[in-house]
Structure 1
Amino acid sequence: MKTKVLTIGLSLIGIVAIAQKKEIRKAGNAIESGDYKEAKSLLTSVEGIISNEKERTQADFYLAKGNAFLAAKDQSEVNIEDLITAGKSFQKAIDLGEEEEGKAGMAEVKRVLITAASEDQTQQKFSESAKKAYAAYNLSKKDTLYLYHAASVSSVAKDYDAALGYYEELRDLGYTGRGTIYTAVNKETGDVEEFGADENKRDIYVKAGSHIKPSTIKEDSKRPDIVKNIALIYLQKDEKEKAMKAIQQARKESPEDTGLMLTEADIYYNLGKMDKYSQLVEKVIETDPNNATLYYNLGVTTSKMGDPEKAIEYYKKAIKIDPEMLNANINIASAILNKEQALIDEMNDLGMSNADNKRYEELQKERNDLYKEAVPYLEKVVQKKSKESAEYKQSAQILSQIYSMLGETEKANALKD
């Protein structure tokens, strides 16, 4: 009697197994016909008991489920939850031995998510873009570049809580983003195309003749920016102690990292501690004395601290290193011309006595000397900048006024024309 019961039980299991396979086949047919809702329903009806089946049947089930949830994207806007479900299903199929189809499905899920994230960013849907990029990263926890994208666009969206979580995860992972990108120019379009870190793929296209001018781009570490953004988000949330703790912890790990020094300096700048800012930047300059940008930045903060003469010194050092740094020229001219207001105020307060008239002439000469001192820097900007740029227009307008004040009418009219 017991044997008969066992036989009937085994028969029932066989019937269930046949039914499950039948539902999986039906789901496959539904996917092919575009009836994704029906495919999902059929797969859901057998999911609860699929774990009792052989690994081959389970793998077929998860491949079908992955395809059903992935293919649903064709009927509507990309649904993150559907794609996450598809990715998990493909991963289970891989774990059950269906590596080829499972990995192909997983790669397609990631491609769809990243494409959608890129389109969202183009349309300035930054929060949506971040969620899709993070979903792509979360499928395998390997593509940290997607996590970095999620953090960056969350910051742009001012979703600081999400951005903070992403940046802290990047920090804890030790992500640097440092690497090499291989590029080549597409002969047909003339555009520079990136091949990521795949040098061989780039070289194949070049050898085939479709691409020319192969090039290599070295990417610097993004870790200083990551730590900086963590700190700045804490500042945004008015959590100053956490901001300083974040950067100081990173500095302990890499005390000679100039990027982290500048990040700490930026925090002091945001806190209004200009003396601390200047000390750190000066320290960085000692290690990198030929960095024009450092001198320029130090000039900006020194100017804000109310020391225009010292600021001009820094700007001049920046220009000596990089003669084409036109913003430094603009700021020197601005610092010089800012001295004019004190002269004007004194001129307006003078009376009509002989002594006052004499002083007025002295002040007028000092004023003209300021103009003459500022002219070469403004002329450099006008010579080098595009006429459509804001820097050109502003500099040309000021320069024209100075020429008029100095009696150089021909030059003033030339700029006006």
Structure 2
Amino acid sequence: MKKITLLVALLISFLTFAQKDELKTLKKIYAKDTPSTSDIEDYKSALKTLETLAISEEDKVYTNFYTGMLPMAELNNLGSKITPKEVQRLMSPKNIEIFVNSMNETLEYEKKEGKKIYTDDINEAYSFLIPQIEQAAFQLNEAKQYKMASATFYNLYKLDKKSGSNLLNAAILSVQGEDFPTAIKLYEEYRDSDYLKNGMVYFAINKLNDEEESFTSIRARKTKLDLKTHEKPRDEKVSGRSDILKLIANLKVQTGDVEGAKKAYQDLVSESPNDLNILIEQANFYYVQNDVTTYKNLIKEIIKKDPTNASLHFNIGYLGLSEDAGLVEEINKNLDKPKKYEELMAKRKSMYEAAMPHFEESYKLDPSSENTKIMLKSTYEILGLKDKAAKL
């Protein structure tokens, strides 16, 4: 038993030394300003070995760090020989995502451990890479590669959570790329972000055309101010929460998430309880879902807030007649059954009597509406009010 334990201990010791050697190799190559092609091959080989050897949290974190930094090492290796095609390959959305995740992981780990082995390097890399990634994101957008552009803007947001406009751009581009599930997820993240609650939009005037431009971060604006191309900076609090909630509701409708859409409309109405357009949009959603009862109840509540809206009164009256076609069919089927016939006629009369005040109110508020006039006249005629019908 002791021999087995000893062998296991020797094996673990061997593996530990091996992975330390691999990490040393990576650290040595990483430190070079211009690594050779051979160095890059050794770098990749060391990473591959560490895929199975890295066991401790520290070793895993720094293995991921070097993985994320691989494109940077390759860029340094190519130097002036780099081509646009190589830049596109090395700065792909996937590589950027790996870079962002591994750098953030390293920053969090070093903060937790109270040490700064690569924190300063990462922040320096950010200052260099963020403008490059921004440029790549806008180029992907211009090329109508919306999904890739969305992913790139999202990675920018993960690099700097204060640049919430990048998260919004990612959501917008997901819609343009017709990736609606991702768009919902991104808009919901934007809805809950600190940026939407407390963020600022940074403005400055472009001296060339005297037009005010917005910037995704104070850093981006400062660059322009330092270059003297812009002046008169001003800040403005981020707004538009209701618009975001409306977009989420509409996207959930579009993806067939009825229950999710109901919740989204509830959130939207809670945010803007007196916005009649939003209240009407919510009511129309229920109408499309064939939930006529909820629709009518919502419209009645809206009328209390806006009793002068002729269209709302008309809608209530019109919906009250939704069973008319079926009743007429039943009446015609029972012409030879007096008792049943009278019951159906009485039901139809009662239905029109309930609708009449709504048509009258709608006509009173908007006498120019031909639809209201036609419906009111028909109602009067069906109820035998010929004198009133003749005046229309």
> Normalized against structure 2, the TM-score is what?
0.55
Q: Does 1:166 align with 2:201?
A: no
- Structure 2 regions of 5+ residues with no counterpart? 76-85, 111-115, 319-358, 375-392
| Secondary structure class of the residue paired with 1:176 | helix
The counterpart of 1:68, out of the listed 70, 81, 90, is 70
**Equivalent residue for 2:266?**
248
Structure-2 change in CA distance of 1:168 and 1:212 (3 Å) = closer
After superposition, the C-alpha distances for 1:195-217 in whole angstroms (9 at most, x for unaligned) are 456399659938x8653444454
| Secondary structure class of the residue paired with 2:203 | strand
Q: Does 1:237 align with 2:255?
A: yes
**Equivalent residue for 1:45?**
49
Q: Does 1:265 align with 2:280?
A: yes
The whole-number CA distance in structure 2 between the counterparts of 1:128 and 1:203 is 26
Structure-2 change in CA distance of 1:44 and 1:104 (3 Å) = farther
The whole-number CA distance in structure 2 between the counterparts of 1:242 and 1:268 is 15
1:30–1:39 CA contact under 8 A, matched in 2: no
Structure-2 change in CA distance of 1:209 and 1:105 (3 Å) = closer
Q: What residue identity is the alignment partner of 2:278?
A: T
Q: Does 1:32 align with 2:52?
A: no
The whole-number CA distance in structure 2 between the counterparts of 1:33 and 1:303 is 78
The whole-number CA distance in structure 2 between the counterparts of 1:75 and 1:210 is 28
Structure-2 change in CA distance of 1:107 and 1:277 (3 Å) = farther
Q: What residue identity is the alignment partner of 2:99?
A: A
| Secondary structure class of the residue paired with 2:165 | helix
- Structure 1 regions of 5+ residues with no counterpart? 287-294, 315-334, 343-417
Displacement of 1:88: 3.0
The whole-number CA distance in structure 2 between the counterparts of 1:198 and 1:249 is 31
2:26–2:66 CA contact under 8 A, matched in 1: no
How many pairs align? 297
The whole-number CA distance in structure 1 between the counterparts of 2:223 and 2:133 is 28
After superposition, the C-alpha distances for 1:36-86 in whole angstroms (9 at most, x for unaligned) are 565333333345445569x6x988766543321345574443322222222
Q: What residue identity is the alignment partner of 2:136?
A: A
2:204–2:231 CA contact under 8 A, matched in 1: yes
The whole-number CA distance in structure 1 between the counterparts of 2:132 and 2:214 is 19
2:165–2:216 CA contact under 8 A, matched in 1: no
The residue correspondences of 1:162-311 to structure 2 (distance < 5 A) are 162-173=182-193, 176=196, 179-188=199-208, 190-196=210-216, 198=218, 205=225, 210-220=229-239, 222-252=240-270, 254=271, 257-258=273-274, 262-269=277-284, 271=287
> Normalized against structure 1, the TM-score is what?
0.52
Q: Does 1:86 align with 2:85?
A: no
**Percent identity of paired positions between Structure 1 and Structure 2:** 19
Structure-2 change in CA distance of 1:132 and 1:45 (3 Å) = same
User: How well do the aligned residues superpose, as a CA RMSD in angstroms?
Assistant: 5.2
2:167–2:190 CA contact under 8 A, matched in 1: yes
1:24–1:61 CA contact under 8 A, matched in 2: no
The residue correspondences of 1:343-354 to structure 2 (distance < 5 A) are none
